[in-house]
Amino acid sequence: QVQLVESGGGLVQAGGSLRLSCAASGRTSSSNALAWFRQAPGKEREWLAAINWSGSIRNYADSVRGRFTISRDNALNTLYLRMISLKPEDTAVYYCACNEMGVPHSVGTLYKYWGQGTQVTVSS
C-alpha cells in the first residue's frame, strides 16, 4: 500500500503562486509514477500533470502547461506542484495519485492510490 497526503493548499489572489506538496509513504518503489489531478465543484476530475520516478519524463495538460511545474524529491518521498499565474478557474480540490506501472499517463482510472486532497482557492 502507498499512502499519499497533500498539503500546501490555501487562498491566493489571482496572479499569485502556490506550491503543493504530496508526501508519500508505505510501499513506494522506483517503478511508481506520480500525478496531480484536480476537481472543481460541478466539474469532472481533471488530470494536470504526471512524472515518472526519475523525473526524466514530465507530462502536462494543455490547460496548465507553462504555468504549473511538477517535480519530485525522492530522498524526501515528496511530490510537488509549483503553480504560478493562478486564475480563479484554478480553484479546485487538488489530489496527488500514484500508479505502479511507472508510466506518467493522464488516465485517472489507472492510478491506484490517491491522497485526500487539498483545497486551492484563487480569488479575483
Whole-number Å distance between alpha carbons of 64 and 81: 11
Say which range, 20-34, 88-102, 103-117, has the weakest mean pLDDT. 20-34
What pLDDT is recorded for position 66? 96
- Return the half-sphere exposure (C-beta side, CA atoms, 13 A cut-off) of residue 119: 5
pLDDT of residue 40: 97
What pLDDT, on the 0 to 100 scale, is given for residue 31? 79
Task: Give residue-wise pLDDT tens across range 50-66.
Answer: 999 999 999 999 999 99
Secondary structure letter of residue 54 according to DSSP: S
Task: Please enumerate in sequence order all residues whose Cβ is within 8 A of that of 77, keeping only pairs 6 or more positions apart, or say none.
Answer: 23, 24, 25, 28
92, 62 Cβ separation under 8 angstroms: no
DSSP 31: T
- Does 28 have pLDDT greater than 80? no
